[in-house]
Chain A
Amino acid sequence: MNDVGELPLSDDCQPPMANGEVLFDEPWQGRVFAMALLLVEQECFAWDEFQAALIEAIDDGEVSDAREGTYAYYEHFQEALKRVLASKNVVESTELNARTAAFADRPHGHDH
């Protein structure tokens, strides 16, 4: 993994870190972060395109929860990823919404 230690994200949209490490409060946050890195590696989109979407998502400021910090950051991060993938026609919003709804309808007890 070449140069991944230096995230090409500008200072205003760096992930939350402590003691030099990227912080994930919940597992899904690490997974969306990793997906974005891997998709850049796959050349699905470029870092600067993702960064632009992330800044836009942060500016839109729509977080469902009033919570701040790590949680809000990754909510924006996930939103940015969703938008970039839609704009590249990699994953359509409708497709993602349908899959999310299908997962939500799984019988209880599947949650892990």
Chain B
Amino acid sequence: MTDSRMALRAEALESLLIEKGLVDADRIEETIAFYNERVGPMNGAQVVARAWQDAAFKGRLLDDGTAAIQEFGFSGGQVDKLVVLENTPDTHNVVVCTLCSCYPWAVLGLPPRWYKDPAYRSRVVREPRAVLQEFGTTIPENTTVQVWDSSAEIRYMVLPAMPLSWTGQSHEVLASKVSRDSMIGVQVLLD
């Protein structure tokens, strides 16, 4: 099938399903938007950018992540307990779920494939620096690497350190620069 053939068949299917009262076009639009925009690491990036710019918010976020992200009103994904871990010159945090693939998807969207990979899950605990290196991330020797094991009850998200040169940029610009991987802790944000 050519492009237009696939598109035509999708359109034909949609029209039949609408006639049968099984789906409606608005719900389809909503669902697409949900996956494209609302579920996704942009939620987490908003949280990070705000924490960088607002010390009081950052305090609340580190104190009680679940309560602090309520302020954003993210839809479609309760986080039972969200713990936000701040990266500092002394400590670099990395998140894993050794048991399965628990993930704070309300703030980070769908987990990347490698997050569910047994190799990542077991190795990041044993040799985090080696795993980080494979992501191209080098953590200074004098920085402690702390690995956090998620569970169904507690989901972790990393608050990455902001590169100094980003100081003074707008919330939107900052949020656009926060990568998903930096919030899992396998990446350090660079200028």
Contacts and interface: CB of A to CB of B under 8 A. Distances in A.
Interface of A: 1, 3-7, 11, 14, 17, 19-22, 24, 26-28, 30-35, 37-39, 42, 44, 64-65, 74-75, 78, 81-82, 85, 90-91, 95-96, 99-100, 102-104, 111
Contacts of A103: 8, 11-12, 15
- Tell me the interface secondary structure of chain A in the complex: helix
Contacts of A44: 22
Contacts of A74: 6
A85 B2 CA distance: 22
Contact of B17 (A37, A39, A65): A39
A22 B111 contact: no
Contacts of B16: 91, 95-96, 99
B35 A22 contact: yes
Contacts of A35: 13-14, 17, 23, 28
B22 to A, nearest CB: 6
Given A4-B76, A90-B22, A24 B10 contact: no
Given A31-B28, A99-B12, A38 B110 contact: no
Contacts, number: 139
B170 interface: no
A28 B39 contact: no
B1 A38 contact: no
Interface stretch (B81-89, B101-109, B133-141): B101-109
Nearest to A11: B116
A14 B108 CA distance: 17
A20 B13 contact: no
A30 B32 contact: yes
A21 B40 contact: yes
B142 interface: no
Given A21-B36, A78-B6, A34 B31 contact: yes
Contacts of A102: 12
Interface string B23-38: 1000111011011100
B9 A96 contact: yes
B41 A21 contact: yes
Contacts of A82: 9, 13
Contacts of A111: 4
9 shortest interchain CB distances as A-B pairs = A20-B109, A34-B31, A28-B10, A99-B12, A5-B105, A100-B12, A28-B7, A30-B32, A64-B1
B10 A20 contact: no
10 contacts: A1-B31, A4-B39, A5-B106, A6-B110, A11-B116, A17-B112, A20-B109, A21-B40, A34-B23, A38-B22
